[in-house]
Every structure is written in structure tokens, then in C-alpha cells.
Amino acid sequence: MADDNPTPVDADNVDPPANADNVGNDPAPQDPPKADTPVPPSPLALPDDLKDHPSLKKFNLEEGVEGLAKSYVNLERLVGKEKVPIPETDSDWDMWFKAAGRPDTKDGYVFEEPKDIPEGMEFSQEMSDQFAEWAYDKGLNQTQAQGLRGDLMKYLGEAHEVQTRSVKERMEAAEAAIKREFGNAYEDKVKVAKGVVDRFMGDEFKEFLDDSQFGNDPRMIRGFANLAAKLGEDVNLTGQHDTLTPTDYKAQAAEFRTKNAAALMDKFHPDHNRLVKQLTNLTEKAFPGAAA
């Protein structure tokens, strides 16, 4: 049964249908935004005096705040680590050398005195000063310079010992050779050579021979002995000594053998024994090594 007294309707409070406004006026459909499409960042806006500054080239400013943040984080990772800039100018190198420990001047090096310097090898302050100058020019720090100096002194010392040993061996070999050459006349030849030096060469030359050790060189002895022979039989040079060499005695022995052949061959000859002794004496002097 119909309600005879229907409840009055307030038109102002009635909600319109959901599509009431769209009836007869439908808008164009729109695609909903995709959730996985990133919104591109906008570059940082910087003042003109900063945006082209070389110091900012390392930062990724095109990605806005996010790029700046990433670049800064990467930069922070390097903070506190050892970094060595590559020197480009002389001033840069000086700063690099100083940072590495080079003294302010060449006089700033403090070197230990070299030890175990070989006999005959000299080490002067001038050498030390020269090395300090080289070390400073090359940018060495104290540790490097001291180590290199020690290695250098060791090398020079070993080289000096090798050279000294080599010279000694050559001198000994030459002395042995000249002794064989001069035989029993060796000592007299030495005296004669010294006599020439004392008589004609003067103190300065004698000092040179002593300092250089050339006075003991068999070649010098031979030369001065030959010079004495050219000067003649000067008693003050040769004295009454035998200065004949084995070669000289060989010649005398050959001449003596030819001259006295008959008596030497005949053991019944009255002069046989005497002449045999003389020939034997000449032969021993001609071959001093065989006699020993």
C-alpha cells in the first residue's frame, strides 16, 4: 500500500548521480603516468662566475643535486689518503723534493765518516762536499743520500783494491822477468840505476818516483841501467860491481869455448881443469836459474 504521507525531499541535500556532470560532455581519455619512468633532474643553476670554474669540472653538475652529492662522496673517499701531485715546473719539483725530505741546502746533509778505507786510497772533505752538491741537485733526501754515498764509497774501495792488486801482480811479474834477464847482475843493475837518478835527476824527480812507486818499476830500472851503460864506466855510478847480464855471459862462454876448445876436450891437457872451472863459472852466470 502506498504511503499516503510521503516524506518530503530536500532538493538541496540530494547527491547528484556519479555521472550527472558527464552526461553529454565526456572528456578525452588520459593515460595514467608510468610509475617506472624517472623524472630527469634539472641541472644546477650556478652563477656565471662559478659554473665554468675549472675546480668544478670534476663534479657531475648535469645531474643536479644528486650528481653533486655523488661526486662529493667520491671526493671524500680520497680525503686523508697519501697523494702525490705530478710536478710540472721547477718550483713544483722543489716543493716535491722538500716534501720528500731534501734539506733546504746542500750543507744540510749529515754524512757518517767512511769506514775501512783501503790503504793508499784518500778521502777528502772536497769529495764529500762535491757529493752533497750532486745529491742536492738530484733531490735526494738524507736517507737516500747517505745510502748512495755508502754504496759509492764501497764501490770505489773495491775498485781501488782490485787495481792495487793488479798493479802489484804486474810489478811482480815484470820484476821476475828482469831478474831472469839480468841474472846475478840484477842487484848491481839496481844500484847503477839509482846512481843515475841520484846524479842527474834531482830531488823533485826522486820524490816523484817514490810517490808514484815508479822507482820500483823494472822498466825504470832497465832504462836507467842502460843509460848508465851509455854514459860509460863511471866508478861513481857502477863501482866495482859486475854489471854483465846473462846474455853477456852467454857470449863470453861461447867465445871462451871456441878459444880453448883443444884444452877443454883433452882431459890430460895441463890447463884442462882450470879452463873447465872458468867455463863452468861463465855458464852458471849465463843460466842463473839452472845453477839453482
| Cα 132 from Cα 152, distance rounded (Å) | 13
- The pTM assigned to this predicted structure is 0.44
Quick check: 235 pLDDT over 70? no
Q: Return the pLDDT at 106.
A: 92
What is the pLDDT confidence band of residue 144, given thresholds at 50, 70 and 90? very high
| CA atoms of 111 and 82, how far apart (whole Å) | 29
Q: Which cell numbers hold the place of 126?
A: 772536497
Q: Give 246: exposed, middle or buried? Use CB within 10 Å, 0-12, 13-18, 19+.
A: buried
Which helix or strand (DSSP H or E) is residue 76 part of? helix 64-78
- Over the stretch 46-88, which tens digit does the pLDDT of each residue have? 777 766 777 666 666 676 667 667 776 766 665 555 566 678 8
Q: pLDDT averaged over the chain?
A: 74
Kindly write down the DSSP assignment for every residue of 238-286, as one continuous string: HTT-----HHHHHHHHHHHHHHTHHHHH-TTSTTHHHHHHHHHHHHHHH
Query: How many Å apart are CA 242 and CA 184, to the nearest integer?
Result: 8
